[in-house]
Amino acid sequence: MAELQKDPVTRGEFIWMGVVGSIVGAVLTIPPAVFVLSPTIQTNFQGKSDIPEGWIEMGSVFEVPAKEPKTYRVEFPQKQTYKGGGSLMGEGSVIEAILVSWREGEIPSLLEGRGEGSLSASEIEQLTPDLNVMSTSCAHLGCPVRWFPDRKEILCPCHGGIYDINGSLIGGPPPQGLYYYDYEIRENGGIYVRHAFTNGEPYVV
């Protein structure tokens, strides 16, 4: 009877090779993954971004409704870079959803019954603090939030974060309210945003 060939690799050696392979795989995989996710990680959790801080026109104050936020999708230019500043992937863009609402859901009196037109400097000054320009990334772990008209609340479907129409925290695990974009209102009523945020606090004059 022919003898069975003995396996040249013992069980211990097989397990050891598996451990080494896992370590090598992690070493090779983690840096690219971190690089690809870096803009999201830096923006949502570290307050940093490699997106230029130029102003982008998003919409108009004349189209923001009462009682609910309006959702805009804004395309920000983006440049992938090394930490030291050298370009690696060149230029691209990132599209982000932004919620815009009036404070407490009420349209300011100076806009009621008024059609589109130019705004004076004093009107812009009066309107600016009445506007909420909010990130749709939950302040907990960055899941996208959305407005639920039946509840009149902004909800996170991932872990139950609850915010009011102003982005202020009502309940759930988030440590604070939604992040607010830097914005400005211009003479034509245009709302301009840039990729910079305040730390869970609405616009303060």
In this structure, the dihedral spanned by the alpha carbons of residues 139, 64, 72 and 78, taken in order and rounded to 10 degrees, is -80
Is 68 within 8 Å of 76 (Cβ atoms)?
A: no
Q: Can you tell me which residue has the tokens 């440590």?
A: 175
User: Which band of pLDDT confidence, cut at 50, 70 and 90, is reported for residue 19?
Assistant: low
Domain boundaries, the chain: 8-48, 50-198
Structure tokens at 15: 């397990």
Full-prediction pTM beyond 0.85?
Answer: no
Q: Does the pLDDT value for residue 171 go beyond 90?
A: yes
Please choose, from the candidates 182, 178, 180, 179, the residue with its C-alpha nearest in 3D space to the C-alpha of residue 54. Answer: 182
Contacts of 150 (CB under 8 A, 6+ apart): none
Q: What CATH architecture is 50-198?
A: 3-layer Sandwich (2.102)
**Cβ count within 10 A of residue 161:** 24
Residue 100: in which H helix or E strand, if any? Answer: strand 87-102
What are 192's strand-pairing partners? 57, 184
Q: Picking from 107-116, 123-132, 194-203, which range would have the lowest pLDDT averaged per residue? A: 194-203
Q: Where are the alpha helices (DSSP H) in 46-194?
A: 121-127
The amino acid that residue 89 corresponds to is M
Strand order in the sheet with 153-155: 146-148, 153-155, 162-163, 169-171
What are 148's strand-pairing partners? 153
Is 181 within 8 Å of 49 (Cβ atoms)?
A: no
Q: What pLDDT, on the 0 to 100 scale, is given for residue 17?
A: 63
**Cβ count within 10 A of residue 187:** 12
Q: What are the pLDDT digits (tens) for 50-102?
A: 666 688 999 999 999 999 999 999 888 876 655 555 544 556 778 889 999 99
